[in-house]
């Protein structure tokens, strides 16, 4: 706005100066056209004025009201020759035509304010006063042809003062308008800023409520997962202590009856029943083992994962590589350890089932409060149909809800070069305590 104010102010001031100078020049040119032009008609046929005409021109300029303001004059021919002047030293000399002289010969009234830098203006420049330099075309009576150009130097002290006042007034007016526009814009921006501040405050309040609600939801989900783990543990214990014990007792009784059953159909049926019971006991023990959890409260997460990897190595007959780096952190919250254990258990179980325990690896990293657990294998990959296994584990579908209840993510990915990776990422700063 300041740049615009200065630009408009200078433009208005320049425009006022041009209009004022032009109007003053037109008034002087009208005087020339009325009184002096009739005395210069001989220039239509001659190169110089007669003595009588020159004396009359000097008398009109010096003895009239105009002469009180005009300090110098020149009469120009089209070839740059000065045929008459108030300064006799330049009469008969030729000078290069300036732009204003050329335009005056085209019939235009031209004027310059306080610009006496041309070579023929040396005497006028030495006066040291502001001058209005006016170029007035002199026309032949009847034909209207320009036969000479009269150049007058008018003292413009009052004009200079008027122009200073005009410039100041124009700048003051532009500054006042700019100031009014600035105040209006400031009021608009201030109102908009206050509206934005209110909206930001409302959004911040809403974000805080949403964060609190999300934490409550995560807390509820975490409590539900803990309750679900307790339920699964109790069901596993009940299976182990109830049906498994009864079926084991039935198997022992069948062994006792085998002596009393004769060879033939009855003995083969007895053996079939005994085989079915033993298979059912194995299945129930596997289910019970998958539902039960170790002592999570007392054992650190590194010990839990290494025990789980050792059990899987014994079960699959292949070693499981374990790499754990918790960046110096001693242990993790109980719900996080439960989640890690379940994800590792499911990943190792799927690796045993679908990758035949080939190059099973368990990695745990903690970087900038972000916990990353990866279970890797070199099996057929994530697209082999083994993404939701449930033998000996709880299935990936259930793990998604468990991980997301803590604010984390879990993905099953294909590894470069073949194999699958079960990756869980959890920001511990988002975990509800």
Whether 187 and 397 have beta carbons less than 8 Å apart is answered as no
How many whole angstroms separate alpha carbon 325 and alpha carbon 329? 9
What is the tens place of the pLDDT at every residue in 26-45?
A: 777 777 677 777 777 777 77
| Secondary structure of residue 428 in the 3-state scheme | helix
Q: Report residue 166: phi and psi, to 5°.
A: -65, -45
How many whole angstroms separate alpha carbon 21 and alpha carbon 4? 25
Which homologous superfamily is 2-167 in?
A: PAS domain (3.30.450.20)
CATH number of 294-433: 3.30.565.10
**Two tokens at 302?**
């590194």
Per-residue confidence (pLDDT) for residue 393, from 0 to 100: 44
Per-residue confidence (pLDDT) for residue 422, from 0 to 100: 93
DSSP 12: H
Give helix 243-258 / helix 265-291 axis angle, nearest 10°. 160
User: How many Cα atoms within 13 Å fall on the side-chain side of residue 360?
Assistant: 28
152 beta partners = 73, 134
What is the tens place of the pLDDT at every residue in 394-415?
A: 567 778 888 888 888 999 998 8
Q: Where are the domains of the chain?
A: 2-167, 294-433
SS (H, E, C) 23-90: HHHHHHHHHHHHHHHHHHHHHHCCCCCCHHHHHHHHHHHHCCCHHHCEEEEEEECCCCEEEEECCHHH
Whether 337 and 307 have beta carbons less than 8 Å apart is answered as no
DSSP 356: T
Handedness of CA 93, 43, 107, 75 (dihedral sign): positive
Residue ranges for the chain with pLDDT beneath 50: 386-393
Cα torsion through 166, 169, 170, 175, rounded to 10:
160
C-beta neighbour count of 227 within 10 angstroms: 10
DSSP 430: G
């Amino acid at each position: 706005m300041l740049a615009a104010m200065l630009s408009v102010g200078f433009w208005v001031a320049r425009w006022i100066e041009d209009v004022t100078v032009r109007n003053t020049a037109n008034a002087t040119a009208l005087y020339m056209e009325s009184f002096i032009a009739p005395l210069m008609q001989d220039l239509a046929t001659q190169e110089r004025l007669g003595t009588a005409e020159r004396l009359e021109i000097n008398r009109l300029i010096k003895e009239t009201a105009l002469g009180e303001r005009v300090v110098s004059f020149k009469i120009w021919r089209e070839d740059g020759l000065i045929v008459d002047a108030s300064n006799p030293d330049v009469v008969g000399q030729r000078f290069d035509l300036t732009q204003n002289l050329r335009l005056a010969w085209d019939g235009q009234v031209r004027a310059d304010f306080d610009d006496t830098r041309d070579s023929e203006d040396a005497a006028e420049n030495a006066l040291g006063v502001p001058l209005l330099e006016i170029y007035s075309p002199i026309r032949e009576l009847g034909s209207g042809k320009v036969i000479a150009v009269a150049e007058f130097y008018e003292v413009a002290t009052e004009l200079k003062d008027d122009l200073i006042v005009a410039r100041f007034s124009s700048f003051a007016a532009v500054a006042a308008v700019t100031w009014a526009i600035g105040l209006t814009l400031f009021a608009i921006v201030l109102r908009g800023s206050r509206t934005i501040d209110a909206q930001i405050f409302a959004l911040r309040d809403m974000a805080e409520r949403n964060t609190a609600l999300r934490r409550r939801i995560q807390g509820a989900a975490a409590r539900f997962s803990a309750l679900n783990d307790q339920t699964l543990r109790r069901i596993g214990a009940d299976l182990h202590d109830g049906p498994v014990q009864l079926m084991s007792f039935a198997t022992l009784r069948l062994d006792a009856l085998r002596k009393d059953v004769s060879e033939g159909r009855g003995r083969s049926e007895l053996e079939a029943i005994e085989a079915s019971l033993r298979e059912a006991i194995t299945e129930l023990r596997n289910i019970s083992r998958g539902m039960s959890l170790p002592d999570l409260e007392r054992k650190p997460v590194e010990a839990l994962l290494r025990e789980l990897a050792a059990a899987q190595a014994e079960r699959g007959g292949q070693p499981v590589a374990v790499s754990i780096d918790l960046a110096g952190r001693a242990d993790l919250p109980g719900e996080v350890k439960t989640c890690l254990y379940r994800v590792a258990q499911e990943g190792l179980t799927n690796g045993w089932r679908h990758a035949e325990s080939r190059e099973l690896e368990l990695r745990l990293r903690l970087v900038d409060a972000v916990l990353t657990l990866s279970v890797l294998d070199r099996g057929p990959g994530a697209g082999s149909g083994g993404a939701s296994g449930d033998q000996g584990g709880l299935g990936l579908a259930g793990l998604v809800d468990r991980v997301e209840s803590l604010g984390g993510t879990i993905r099953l990915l294909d590894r470069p070069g073949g194999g699958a990776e079960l990756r869980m990422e959890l920001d511990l700063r988002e975990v509800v305590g």
